[in-house]
Amino acid sequence: MIRRLFVALSLAGVAVATVLVLRMSGGPEALFVLSPGNHLAALGAMSLEVVMRGARFVILGAAMGVSVPLLIATMAQLAGDGGGAVTPSRSGSDPAKALILVRRGVRGGHIGALLVGEVVAEAILLPVCALILILSLESVSLPAMGATLTWSVAALTLVGVAVWLAPTRDSTAPRLLQRFGVTGPRWERLVTIAADFRQAAGALRRMSHVHLALLAAATVGHIGARLLVLPALAGSALASENLAELLGWPFFLLYGAPLIPVPAGGGAIEAGFVYWVGEHLPAEKLGGLLFWWRFYTFHLFALAGWLVITIPLRRRTLK
């Protein structure tokens, strides 16, 4: 009950912040100031974004010798969007991805390696993208710069801890786990999964240069496609005048959001959008651009993700 109330209050903060901005921009009419072409361009950018994330799973699977179809990989990413939308700091994203992959017969250890590979690729390339965008903006606050770097360091630290804690075949169950009943067959299953994980992670460490290049391209492609949503909604004339700001500030808002310990940022992302991006947008379009930017980068795929989670397809084993 407390968890549901926490989620409801957080999402209510998003709704309240959006309504307030719409009022500043002339009311609900601001939602209809964008042309259909702008909407199609934004939808195309986000469709490309989620496909690039799916392709990253395909590439990682190929490096491990595991076949992960692009459709299943993309569905897993959508499920991650749905799970992350209603959990603090997107903590439900990876479990939701794992759920879809498990339904399709991917082994637990391989799933862990896929998620680790994805996080490592993102954590390494995000600071590079952040540096490029920082150099293109006139002034970037210290919190904005630190958020992306903090996420990357935290992600790499968690990956290192997960690999270090993965038990070997000759290890015994720690006393803490034994108190929770993880003994005998349960411990054996955990050890088997950990062995698969270590083997798959070892394959990722020996990735070929071709796979590394494709992985980097997919990662940068999904980041770039996500950042193109706001310029696509704003239109070519407005975007050309403030391209650095329309790319840079959304980057720091989107990739700093996982550090906010409430679902959907609790309205903080909307407030940050008005503060950093609002001065570069016409007042009459601010509310509409904020609403539709959040719709395409958050609400739409969160809804699609929940449909993927709640309407499972027939299970099929992947080899």
Window from 63-67, 122-126, 179-183 with minimum mean pLDDT: 179-183
pLDDT, residue 312, reads 67
pTM: 0.87
Of 64, 33, 49, which Cα lies nearest the Cα of 219?
49
Q: Give the model's pLDDT for residue 1.
A: 67
318 has pLDDT over 70: no
Per-domain boundaries in the chain? 2-310
What does DSSP assign to residue 32? G
Examine the pLDDT at 117 and tell me if it is beyond 90.
Answer: yes
Element (H, E) at 278: none
Average pLDDT, the chain: 85
251-307: pLDDT as tens digits? 988 887 777 777 777 788 888 899 889 888 998 899 999 999 999 999 999 999 999
Choose between 12 and 64: higher pLDDT: 64
SS3 content of the chain, % helix, strand, coil (to 5): 80, 0, 20
Could you count the other beta carbons within 10 Å of the beta carbon of residue 251?
23
Q: Copy the structure tokens of residue 114.
A: 């896929």
Which residues are within 8 A (CB) of 187 and not within 5 positions of it... i.e. 6 or more apart? Answer: 172, 173, 177
SS3 of residue 1 by DSSP: coil
What confidence tens digit (pLDDT) does each residue in 8-24 have? 767 777 888 888 887 87
> How many whole angstroms separate alpha carbon 295 and alpha carbon 20?
16
pLDDT at residue number 6: 67
List the single range of 7-16, 110-119, 136-145 with lowest mean pLDDT.
136-145
Per-residue pLDDT at 317: 46
pLDDT over 80 (residue 100): yes
**Residue 83 contacts residue 303 (beta carbons within 8 Å):** no
CA distance 251 to 182: 42
Alpha helix ranges (H) inside 142-258: 142-165, 175-179, 185-205, 209-227, 229-234, 236-241, 243-256
Q: Is residue 162 packed enough to be buried (19+ CB in 10 Å), middle (13-18) or exposed (0-12)?
A: middle
The secondary structure element, H or E, covering residue 306 is: helix 300-310
pLDDT value at residue 156? 87
Q: What percent of the chain has pLDDT over 70?
A: 91
Write out pLDDT tens, residues 70-90. Answer: 999 999 999 999 998 888 878
Is residue 152 very low, low, confident or very high in pLDDT (cuts 50, 70, 90)?
Answer: confident
